[in-house]
Chain A
C-alpha cells in the first residue's frame, strides 16, 4: 500500500512540476532562453488565486482571473525584458531572468508580507476514497486538472492550424520563419499559454498547502530547469514525462535515501546521473 501511496503522491507532485515546466520548455524551444522568472509567475498565480477566491468565494473565477492576468504578464515580460536582448549571448537573458525572479520574490514579500496568505475557507479539503487510497479532493483536482489542461494543449497543438504552426515553430524557429510564420505572434501566444499554465500550478499548490509564500517559486524555479533538461530541452512530451518521473523518484527517494540526501539533492543527483549517461537528456534526441 505504501508503494501505491508514494506513487500517487509522486504523480501529484509531478503534475505540478509538469504544469510549471511546460511553459519553460516552450520558451526554451522558441527562444533558447532559460526563463527562470517563470517561477515568479507561478507564485503570482498562487497569490491571485487566493486573493480572488477570498474576495469572491469562487475558486473557478479565481483560476480564470489568475490565468488571464499571469498570461498577459508573461507576454509583457517577453516584450519588455527578453525581446530587446535576444541578440546578446545566452547568459545575458539567463542572468536577467534570474535577477527578475529574485526581484519578483522580494516584491511579493514587501507587498504581501513575509508570512504568506491563505484561503479563508479553503476549498476542496474533503477526502475521497479512490481504489482504496484516501486522497484529498485538492490532490484529485491537481491530477485531474493537469490531465485536462495538458490534454487540451495536446488537442490544440495537433488539431488546429495555429497549433500546428506553433509546434513547428518551437521545433525549428528558423525553418518556420522561412515558411512565412509570423514568429512574433507565436512568441506572444507561447508566453501567454506557458504563463497561464504556471498560474494554474500556483493556484493548485496554494490549494494543497493552503498557503502562498513569497518564496514558493524557489523550488519550482530550479526544479523545473532540471526537468526540462531531463526532458531534452524544448521537447514538450519529454518534459511531461520527466516531470512525472521526477515527482515519483523524489517521493520514493525521500523514503529510501532520505538519510543521505534531501529532496532537492535527490532530484539533482538523478539529473547529473542521467546527463552522464545520456548527455542529451532522458528523452532528448542525440
Chain B
C-alpha cells in the first residue's frame, strides 16, 4: 500500500504518535511556559484508559474519547493543585504526579500491576489504515496548535510565559489560562497515549516513567519551546533516530542528555531559534540609539 513497506509504515506511525505527544506538552510548556516533568503520566492515563475500555468491548472511538476525557480531567485536577504552589514548585509537583502514577499502576491489580496490560485490541483498520488515522490526527493537532498560537489565547499565553506578574497587571486571569493549558495539553497527551496503546498492543507502567517524561520534554526543548514546526521536527527525528541507527540506541540517553544540555547552554530557543537566527539577518532598527 502506498508503496511503503510494513517497517516504514510502523516507523511513520510511531513518529506521528510522538509528534502528537510532543505537541501536547508544547501547549503547556511551549505556549504557556509551565514546565512539566511528569507529562508521561497523562500519556499513560490515556493508554490505560483506552486499553481497558476496548478490552471491555467498547469500540476504538469510545476508547479514544475515554482516554482524552480521563487524561484531561486528571490534568485539570493536577492543574488546580499546581496553582496552589509557587512557580518553582510546579516542575517538582508534576514530577511527583508522574511517580505517583507509576506507583499506583505498579500496585493496582485491576490494570495488571507490574505485568501491565497485554492483548489490547488493534485498531481494526490494518497497519496502513491505522497509520492514516494517526496522520489525520497529527494534521488536526498541528492545525489546532497553529490556530491557538494565532488566537488571543496564544497571545495571552505569550504574556504569561514571559512574566506572570505583569500579565496580571494587564488584567489576565493567569490561573484560568494555566488551567486551560493543562486541560488541553493533558487531554491531547491522553489521545497520543491511546494511539500508542493500540499501536503496540501491550503496555506496562515502565512505558510511562520519568525517562519518557524527560524524552518528550527533550523533543519540545530541542525543537524550540513554543515553535510548532520545530517541535514537530524534533519529535519526528528523535523518535525514530534510535530505530534507524542501531548504535544510537545504546547511546540514546547520552544523546538526549547532551542535546538538552547543549541546547539550553548555547541556544535556549532550540532548533527553531537557530533557524530563525540564520534566516532573519534583517537588523531591527533600534530607535533612540542609546544604550539599552
Q: Judge whether B17 is part of the interface by a CB distance below 8 angstroms.
A: no
Contact in complex: A261, B93 (CB < 8 Å): no
Q: Judge whether A222 is part of the interface by a CB distance below 8 angstroms.
A: yes
User: By DSSP majority rule, is chain A's interface helix, strand, loop, or mixed?
Assistant: helix
Q: Judge whether B285 is part of the interface by a CB distance below 8 angstroms.
A: no
Please indicate which of the listed interface residues A101, A104, A265, A280 has the most CB atoms of chain B within 10 Å of its own CB: A265
A280 to B86 alpha-carbon distance, docked (Å):
7
Contact in complex: B261, A100 (CB < 8 Å): yes
Chain B nearest CB, measured from A176 CB (Å): 20
Q: Judge whether B214 is part of the interface by a CB distance below 8 angstroms.
A: yes
Chain A nearest CB, measured from B93 CB (Å): 6
A99 to B37 alpha-carbon distance, docked (Å):
13
On chain A, the residues within 8 Å of B251 by CB distance are 106
Contact in complex: B256, A99 (CB < 8 Å): yes
Contact in complex: B210, A222 (CB < 8 Å): yes
On chain A, the residues within 8 Å of B33 by CB distance are 89, 91
Contact in complex: A275, B81 (CB < 8 Å): yes
Contact in complex: A102, B256 (CB < 8 Å): yes
**Residue of chain A at shortest CB distance from B82:** A275
A104 to B259 alpha-carbon distance, docked (Å):
13
**Residue of chain A at shortest CB distance from B205:** A262
Give the contacting residue for A226; candidates B92, B221, B254; CB below 8 A.
B92
Contact in complex: A265, B259 (CB < 8 Å): no
Give the contacting residue for A98; candidates B93, B107, B225, B260; CB below 8 A.
B260
Q: Judge whether A213 is part of the interface by a CB distance below 8 angstroms.
A: no
Annotate A254-286 by CB proximity to B: 1 below 8 A, 0 otherwise: 000001111011111101100110011000000
Contact in complex: B81, A107 (CB < 8 Å): no
Q: Judge whether A151 is part of the interface by a CB distance below 8 angstroms.
A: no
Contact in complex: A271, B96 (CB < 8 Å): yes
A222 to B92 alpha-carbon distance, docked (Å):
8
Q: Answer whether A225 and B257 are a contact pair too, CB < 8 Å, given A106-B251, A265-B102.
A: no
Q: Judge whether B143 is part of the interface by a CB distance below 8 angstroms.
A: no
Q: Judge whether A70 is part of the interface by a CB distance below 8 angstroms.
A: no
Contact in complex: A105, B107 (CB < 8 Å): no
- Tell me the B residues contacting A by CB distance below 8 Å: 29, 33, 35, 37, 81, 84-89, 91-93, 95-97, 99-100, 102-104, 106-107, 210, 214, 217-218, 221, 225, 251, 253-254, 256-265, 268
- Tell me the A residues contacting B by CB distance below 8 Å: 28, 32, 34, 81, 84-85, 88-96, 98-107, 110, 218, 222, 225-226, 229, 233, 259-262, 264-269, 271-272, 275-276, 279-280
Which 8 pairs across A and B sit closest by C-beta, in order of nearness?
A: A265-B103, A99-B260, A102-B257, A99-B261, A103-B257, A96-B264, A268-B96, A106-B254
* Complex A-B: 10 CB contacts under 8 Å: A84-B265, A88-B264, A91-B225, A218-B210, A233-B86, A262-B107, A265-B106, A269-B100, A272-B97, A280-B86
